[in-house]
Structure 1
Amino acid sequence: MAETNRSGIATDQDRFRNLEDIDVTADRSPVLRLFISLTYSVVCAVGLIGNLLVFFFIRVKQERRTSKINVFILNLAATDFQFVLTLPFWAVDIALDFSWPFGHAMCKIILSVTVMNMYASVFFLTAMSVTRYWSVASALKDRTRQGGSCSVKWVCVVLWVLATIATAPTSIFSTVTNVAGEKLCLLRFPEGQHWLAVYHLQKIIIAFIFPMIIVSISYLLLLRIIRRRGMKNNSRLRTQVTKSVTILVLAFLLCWMPNHAITFWGVLVKFNVVYWDRTYYMLHTYVFPITVCLAHANSCLNPFIYCLMRKEFRKKLRDLLRSIHVLSCHRVLPRGGELSEPVKKMEKTVHFQQFIIILCFCNENFCI
């Protein structure tokens, strides 16, 4: 029995050692595949709704010129919206045991869009953290705003261009490859695993390490300013800002770090710095897909994480739910078919509160 187990392990190792140069995630668990497919479906639905709300109310319902932060939020919503549109394709791919049914062209398009929007999303989150710090620092120094919207729009253009450039290797080397009789959509570099390792190392550095350093420094400087400038006696405000900043940084860290940690292990394996072993195989096969789910979930969390943590938004949400409850309990039509004046006033209040809550997505006074 032990001999059978060892031979089974050896077979798996021989099989997947030969696939190191094309970066295959080999999972045979129907339960895990079903879980990931359902997770992608939920993330897609929630992400579509959340990002559409952000996009609609910033672009259509804005009552004044879009602020710097809102320009970044709008671009973040656009990139996250595009990202979640790719999830149904990956859900089908995983449900079919990683057998790609959509053809070579769609493989290139979907894989490229996925990677490009991953880069763009991280870039815009980073730009927002820098903008928050710079806005507070400038306000405290009484600096006047100089062409903010124009410069921010150019920054967004540059970030989209950088995301496109970073995605170029994916667009070039993504392909449909036959592996063990199955058609897989993946990256295949001509020189094998070393170039694939370089590709993953680039992704870790550009999409995680540098942004994490910039985000952390920006928020630490922001907290330093708050503690030093005019807020020394306002412990409640300091606590609120500290909590909000902590949530933002932790959300970014927890969503992306597990995925990049396992990816980095794979980089070390491909460079022969550490040995390929059963632990790596099990982790890459069964844990890595879950970390991908967690990273993808960041795209549906982004629209909410910047508002749900705010006290103003939570208060307006409670007021709205309370008003809807009262309205549903007391909405009675008199004989003439007209609503009574108190109910009409209550209805107007509910509509106004709905509008206020939605504004949290596009008003920087509500969002951090």
Structure 2
Amino acid sequence: MTQSCDILISGGGIAGLTAAAAFGTAGFKVICVDPAPRITDGNAKGADLRSTAMLQPARALLARAGVWEALAPHAAALQVMRIIDAGGEVAEPRVTKEFDASDISDEPFGWNFPNWLLIRELVARLEALETVDFRPGVGTTRLFTRTGSAKVSLSEGGPVTARLVIAADGRGSPMRTAAGIGVHTKRYGQKAMVFAVTHPVPHDNVSTEIHRTGGPFTLVPLPDRDGMPCSAVVWMDDGRATMDRMALDAQAFEAAASDRSCHHFGPLTLVSDRQVWPIITQHADRLSAERVALIAEAAHVMPPIGAQGLNMSLTDIATLLDLAEARREGLGDAQMLEAYHKARHSDVRMRVQGIDLLNRASQAQAPLARDARAAGLNALYSAAPVRKILMQMGLGMR
């Protein structure tokens, strides 16, 4: 038996769940599916131990989705972005620059949350919405579109007819493939290791990114844990070196991580499991097809630098939501989806290319290249107008 809805969302990660909450809160009838169960306990096996910095524009969308009030008590504010170049022969800071949100705003740059907690609060929001039918453990299998609607087959249950299909189903998006949209992919030979640590020196709501050869080592503030300052860490490096570190016991790993952090916050103590993610850059040729819109990693993937990834995804959702609310009768039609593509495509391409350049610079091994990276950081920071423009662009304000 065929079911019908306004919007079928393929993918129940943070972006897909946020889209379901946002469109459901706006009164659209939504079905959201994902083949994997959602893990909402940070101590459970398989929990997503990464964290996400929600930048200023993201809060407005989370409020529209009815979830910000539940998230706010768990937020760790990001007031300052500190960048350290430690790319000399000795692992110690050569250039340290701080970008303070007070230079451009009365608010912090953003707020950091553990991913498993975001998932927990988003799932709770969907359970409270009569307009949303969330089906974990169910995936999409086939897509058939025509001018007036799309028909999507599911791995369990009958097919669904929808006016709009939102593909939020990851970098290997089945719906993107079914819609015939191609992608361009770059690989760096890097992996990102994510974990959480405590440390004796307070982070003071400063996100710290330390550059040496191989990729940045980033510590992002989290709420205190067991009375100690706590940070989420993303350690990007050569893939083989990363996997070698995964094999270290906790004590040896803590020593290696503390050395890589230049002991900036003192010795680091591991307080979570370690997880590894491949680093690629990828962007779709188009962000829409007949009755289909791509968001999040179905549309764009980039290295975790500057908190751009998920925040771009939330901008995708906000743009699509604005278009849908402006002309509900035209939900999912060619005019709406072409407007979505035009509104997002150039910004996505610019940010993907910018993060690609930053990541390649972070991998620099030759002394001259490392020196050029340090000099570039110093020059960008020293020009106040340029510094403010970069901060505004990072937040998506320009």
Q: Name the structure with the higher strand share.
A: 2
**TM-score normalised by the chain length of structure 2:** 0.27
Q: Name the structure with the higher helix share.
A: 1
